Structure 1
């Protein structure tokens, strides 16, 4: 990745929205009683999931390859969906302030829309073949021939 191509992830709308979600989740988690072990466990999961919404954006932006970006995007999607489900755990185990979680749900919907645009902007031509077959650009398969295999390479050319 060229230096002029570098985008600071902190300037991206999706990163900023992820940070906002983390801050709101953190505030809600501060309301969870310390003496409720199950809710404390839920709190840990919520904070970890909320943190993924920024951490993995930064990771995706740091590595230019399509498959790495898609892998990070998958982790983000899972974390956001898991975060939505935590509302049910909070309610089931007696959290009194569960109504505040609607704020998180609304923010995640805004995040989801930013996520769609962000993923659509991934460069599908900046890839290596994912031999596991999960994160290849459209039209590329795990058994395709890698055109880089045809490029002659002699490591001694670089050691002299």
Structure 2
């Protein structure tokens, strides 16, 4: 449930830092799913053999995920003063100019 909610959340915004934050949560959720399969085997669940199917689907998601994240526009960002989700080359103490904060395309309405 977390993965699909965070994909929707990332697609609903234009800001690079928010997209990356959602991407990090998606990655963590996918990794949690991978690890939970090991727990099933450890605790002796009889149907844990089907977990290999889930692992292969997570791997397919990972490949699509990498391509998806590469498509995020690093020009649309607000500085993350924690330094985690800034575009490459932007430090936590980077000072943004007002024109960097104008993310609207000319053909979009100002209804935000």
Range into which the TM-score falls when normalised by the shorter chain: 0.7 to 0.9
Q: Which has the higher helix share?
A: 1
Q: 1:109 aligns with which of 30, 34, 59?
A: 59
Equivalence for 2:36: 86
Alpha-carbon offset, residue 64 of structure 1: 1.1
Q: Are 2:93 and 1:143 aligned?
A: yes
5+ residue gaps, structure 1: 1-50, 152-160
Q: Are 2:102 and 1:130 aligned?
A: no
Alpha-carbon offset, residue 141 of structure 1: 0.8
User: Structure 2: how far apart are the matches of 1:74 and 1:59?
Assistant: 12
Q: State the TM-score, normalizing by the size of structure 2.
A: 0.85
Q: State the TM-score, normalizing by the size of structure 1.
A: 0.60
Tell me which stretches of 4 or more aligned residues in structure 1 moved more than 2 Å.
none
1:24-103 equivalences in 2 (<5 Å)? 51-103=1-53
Structure with bigger gyration radius: 1
User: Structure 2: how far apart are the matches of 1:90 and 1:130?
Assistant: 38
User: Structure 1: how far apart are the matches of 2:6 and 2:55?
Assistant: 20
What is the DSSP-based 3-state SS (H/G/I as helix, E as strand, rest coil) of the residue aligned with 1:115? helix
How many residues align? The count is: 100
Q: 1:119 aligns with which of 39, 54, 69?
A: 69
RMSD of the TM alignment (CA)? 1.5
Q: Deviations over 1:11-69 (max 9, x none)?
A: xxxxxxxxxxxxxxxxxxxxxxxxxxxxxxxxxxxxxxxx1221100010111100000
